[in-house]
Structure 1
């Protein structure tokens, strides 16, 4: 009888360990799927869904604590022309190049996200309007001055950047709409 009880306990312990391992694998899979749902696969920055989550947190934090903060809305000028002249792989390489430039130029605390196609957003905490405008000018200059070469051919790059400050009555969509409108006004 004791042998049977030992076998049952050993069998239960083995099954329990298997279930723990399976549970951990499922948790990891859920975590991986969440990252995939919120991260741009090409650029490894938040995609639109992830960006919207970040913008909501950003607006909430800024308005709750009365912090001065800004959102930059970037449009990659001429990406369609890059794709048409050099192919979509060149366009992807240009997007990666610009994303890397943004990351190298901004503070570690700033958030870069891909809003869609050739549009990006940058969230700047603890900045006033002048600092936000200086950051936008610096980013435009860095991108325009970069030496992007695809298949031994130089490809000129540029971005247009809209700027808006976070206001206490903002919600994410209002903030994004205002920055988008400012970007189009600057394009004109």
Structure 2
């Protein structure tokens, strides 16, 4: 006896097949979005702290196993609380987004930029000799100093403080981040107080 294959429940009908393909595409798009949300900051175009710490651990392991030259920058946005208090959180958010975009524009695709705290970013620099890390920190500082962020009362010019360390073999990732944070704090303390417009 010959059966009509289209009568079996497991054989999709043409219209049903198209619908399944649409659903499958929608699910794939949702998976891509969820994967992005797991590693990306919710406000800025930078990565999030969780992803950064995973990357820092990997880079430390790579340094231990194979050597290489890596740098770690710790960036603090100066006076963000004052901006939020004076102009509102939407202006502070715009400032953080602009700073993140400037940081991303100042590094290579192989480098990692992440927002690791409310007003703090960290950057992993690949293939950079230790004597060049400070120059890169200064270059990034200058790039952010050139920003002008419009808001209802005029222009806002953000400033940052950038600490830096070389990634060293045998140093735990958390300790490296703490060293870079301390370097940033020393730089911040050495600067004259700056005010934002």
Of the structure 1 ranges 63-72 and 144-153, higher mean CA displacement relative to structure 2 is found in: 144-153
Output the CA distance in 1 between the equivalents of 2:65 and 2:84: 43
In the aligned structure 2, how far is the partner of 1:184 from the partner of 1:48?
Answer: 19
Whether contact under 8 Å (2:84, 2:91) holds in the other structure is yes
The 2-side partners of 1:5 and 1:143 are apart by 66
**1:2 corresponds to which residue?**
2
Q: Separation in 2 of the partners of 1:178 and 1:93?
A: 29
In the alignment, what sits opposite 1:73?
A: 74
By how many angstroms is 1:89 displaced? 0.7
Shift of 1:151: 2.1
Superposed CA offset, 1:83-140 (max 9, x none) = 1111111001111111111122222322111001100001111112221100111111
Tell me the TM-score normalised to structure 1 length: 0.87
- Is 1:90 matched with 2:91? yes
Q: Which residue of 1 aligns with 2:11?
A: 13
Partner of 1:105: 106
Q: Return the structure number with greater helix share.
A: 1
Measure, in 1, the Cα distance between the counterparts of 2:116 and 2:178: 12
Gaps of 5+ in 2: 190-197
- Cα distance in 1 between the residues matched to 2:20 and 2:61: 40
Query: Which residue of 2 is the match for residue 45 of structure 1?
Result: 46
Runs of 4+ in 1 over 6 A off after TM superposition: 18-21
Contact 2:115–2:122 at 8 Å: present in 1 too? yes
Deviation at 1:52, TM superposition (A): 1.4
- Equivalent residue for 2:58? 57
Q: SS where residue 74 of structure 2 aligns?
A: strand
> Shift of the alpha carbon at 1:61?
2.2
Alignment of 1:18-29 (within 5 A): 26=27, 28-29=29-30
Deviation at 1:153, TM superposition (A): 1.0
* Change in CA separation of 1:90 and 1:171 when aligned onto 2, cut-off 3 Å: same
Tell whether the 8 Å contact from 1:63 to 1:166 is kept in structure 2 after alignment.
no
Map 1:156-167; keep pairs closer than 5 Å: 156-167=157-168
